[in-house]
Amino acid sequence: MVTEIQGLDVAARAKCSLGEGPAWNHELNALHFVDIFGKKVFTYFPETNSVTSFDTVLSPGAVIPTDSSKLLIAMNDGIYFSNYDGKELNREISIEPDIENNRMNDAKCDPKGRLFAGTMGDGISPTGSLYKISPKQIEKVLGDVTVSNGLAWTENGTKLYYIDSGRQSVLVARYDLEKSQPSHFETFIEFPESFGIPDGMCSDAEDGIWVAFFNGSCIRRFSSSGKLTHVIKLPVSQVTSCCFHGRESSIMYISTASLKLNPEQVNADIAGSIFSIDTGIVGTSTISYKS
């Protein structure tokens, strides 16, 4: 039996074209997220219900807080760092300079704060890859990727879940946390096209994964055995990603998009917003990048 979770709220009316990458900042007690096509990085402060933003010249695929009170931003051609207000935005790591039409997409840190990030091309051809990235080394861990998307680890860090949206599935790999090394990727769950396109995801303390479905109007939770257990239905179709609010929290934030929507369509005014909901299940927290 699948449980439908009720109580969804609009948290931040950002009107993103392609809202993505929600990530919780423990230091600021705030949520960061990006608008990829709008070329903006946002910060939402729940306590004051306020939103700030800054512009980026390129398209930000993901934003992650760092342990040095900065932001790590994955943009078209590499990994950038900036202050919280967007000042001193500089590229520090170049990614795929020889592949002209590729860009960075989703990114996340493992439980020890080490960065994994992926790339995509036209969304059809498998020209992308998933990388383990540090200032000293860039290691390709998976190639032939169409659209590199969601990343999530189990609570103990022994498994890595990964979404290449072009595969219409979630992959799972064994994970050596000490070496930050995944191995033996295999299919964990395959989705019917009627579900929509699997996009971003996060995990919870019970080792369940929560998957956002673009053009599927929902988040679905799957247990560690791959069983569908919960669903969160949204009033908008383009659901892109999700994360939990801080440590030991069951509050989830959900990013959405408003691509090619007619303003007269139902709920078009809240498409591209950040939504929030109490899932009733404690999630894993955003891990800051360890610089």
**Cα-to-chain-centroid distance, residue 92:** 21
What average pLDDT score do residues 137-164 get?
97
Pinpoint the alpha helices (H) of 51-90. Answer: none
Which pLDDT score, from 0 to 100, does residue 266 have?
Answer: 65
Assessment of whether the complete model's pTM goes beyond 0.75: yes
Which SS3 state, helix, strand or coil, does residue 267 take?
Answer: coil
35 annotated active-site: no
Which pLDDT score, from 0 to 100, does residue 262 have?
Answer: 81
* Annotated catalytic residue within 35, 110, 199, 204: 199
Instruction: Check if the beta carbon of residue 216 is closer than 8 Å to that of residue 165.
Output: no
Show me where the domains of the chain are located.
Answer: 3-278
Q: For the domain 3-278, what is the CATH superfamily, name and number? A: TolB, C-terminal domain (2.120.10.30)
Instruction: Check if the beta carbon of residue 148 is closer than 8 Å to that of residue 128.
Output: yes
The tens digit of pLDDT for each residue in 247-269 reads: 889 999 999 999 988 877 768 89
The pLDDT > 90 percentage for the chain reads 95
Strand order in the sheet with 115-120: 103-109, 115-120, 128-133, 138-145
